[in-house]
Amino acid sequence: MTSCWGQHIHLSLFGESHGPMIGAVIDGLPSGFSIDETQIAAEMTRRSASGKDLATPRKEADRVTIVSGFFNGKTTGTPLTGIIENSNTHSSDYEKTKNKMRPGHADYTAFLRYGGFQDYRGGGHFSGRLTAPMVFAGAVAKQILAQKVPALSVGSRIVQIGQVRDHSVLTPSDYAALTYADRTFPVVKRELQDAMIREITEARAQRDSVGGIVEGYITGVPGGLGSPIFDNVESRLASFLFAIPAVKGVSFGIGFDISGMRGSEANDAFRVKDGCVVTSTNHNGGINGGITNGMPIVFKVAFKPTPSIAQPQPTIDIAQHKNTEIEIHGRHDPCIVIRALPVVESAAALCLLDLMMEADGRHE
């Protein structure tokens, strides 16, 4: 039914890939927090087409204009709205193939869901372009968090591209100290970066695409955030992450590998150290019983390969209800993982801000 998220902050997204604009309304923000528009622009740039032939040649300014909830450089606490104009649309690309359901895309399910009345151009409201207002909202959340909890930091790293996997396991203290050789392609095992990039360029050369895994993390997290059962931190963060197009899996801490561990290994023992309660391992990703324990929140997000590929693929024609073939042209990323990093971080930042609004005050 709705394109809304959040319990205490409330994010509402709107727009289609080929409409005049897309945007986000963020309600429930605390008032009095400074927002620097250049920091928003920097996050938008991370998400937009970037770097080394790895991503789509579609270039959009993706300039956000804040049209409400922002006064004298600070949040007012009333709905903060940002709009982004769609300046670079080639709608005719899509008109010819509108009845051919692109495999792996939402064309067919959107047709079922909306009875054929959906805006099919470029995926319409299902487009990856809707991650732009997510990143805008995340950039706002990051700045508010930085002012509320200066020690807190939100980051992400690439764990896997195609068949190349970085198996590094990090301790809680490692996360705060993470640095990368290349911030636009953040890999902990630096020697894997070239192999990862090769996965992408080879896939592109073969008119194919690859997926990957991103690990998001938040350090400096206050303990005691979240609630039991349905309002646990994992459910709330996962509900945002699965809203990012192409995400098919979400796990916390050591992830699915925890299922192969013994309890004696998986349990992160609590210790008092320098007067603080810590754990030396973080297999549970900073969350016990759905509530933060003060260790870094760590989670992995599985992205599938971009479904738009230039190879011919078998599919159906929905108007004629018969089999056919499709070749998808136009501008598509051979791997969306790099561009997904700020989106994953935005989910984390918005989720944490939502959690903090539960117990905290309403203004700076």
Any known ligand binding at 73? no
Residue with token string 């151009």? 121
Please identify, using beta-carbon distances, which residue of 59 and 113 lies nearer to a second copy: 113
Near a second copy by CB under 8 A, which window of 54-62, 105-113, 148-156, 169-177? 105-113
Instruction: Tell me: does residue 193 bind a second copy (CB under 8 A).
Output: no
Q: Pick out residues in 261-290 that bind a second copy (CB under 8 A).
A: 261-272, 275, 277, 283-285, 287-290
> Is 281 annotated to bind ligand?
no
| DSSP letter for each residue of 53-82 | TTS-S------EEEEESEETTEE-SSPEEE
* Rounded least distance, CB 155 to a second copy, Å: 20
Q: Could you say which of 89, 282, 308, 346 contacts a second copy (CB under 8 A)?
A: 308
Comparison of 177 and 272: residue with beta carbon closer to a second copy: 272
CA 8 to chain centre: 20
Per CB under 8 A, which of residues 42..101 are in contact with a second copy?
65, 67-69, 71-72, 74-81, 83, 101
Among 17, 262, 249, which Cα is nearest to 125's? Answer: 17
* Residues in 149-168 that interact with a second copy by CB under 8 A: 160, 162-163, 165
Nearer to a second copy, 102 or 142 (CB): 102
CB of 320 to a second copy, least distance (A): 9
# of chain residues touching a second copy (CB under 8 A) = 153
Distances (CA, A) of 256 to 157, 242, 277, 348: 18, 17, 26, 20
The yes or no reply on residue 143 touching a second copy (CB under 8 A) is no
What is the CA 239 to chain-centroid distance, rounded? Answer: 11
What's the angle, vertex CA 4, arms to CA 355 and CA 152, rounded to 5? 30
Q: Kindly indicate which of the ranges 88-96, 146-154, 184-192, 232-240 contains the residues binding a second copy, using the contact rule CB under 8 A.
A: 232-240
| Partner residues linked to 75 by β-bridges | 70
Within 13 Å, how many C-alpha atoms sit on residue 165's CB side? 7
- In the bound state with a second copy, the residue whose beta carbon lies nearer, of 174 and 364, is 364
The widest CA-to-CA distance across the chain, in whole angstroms, is 70
What tokens were used for 138?
A: 């995340």
State in Å, rounded, how far the first CA of the chain is from the last one.
34
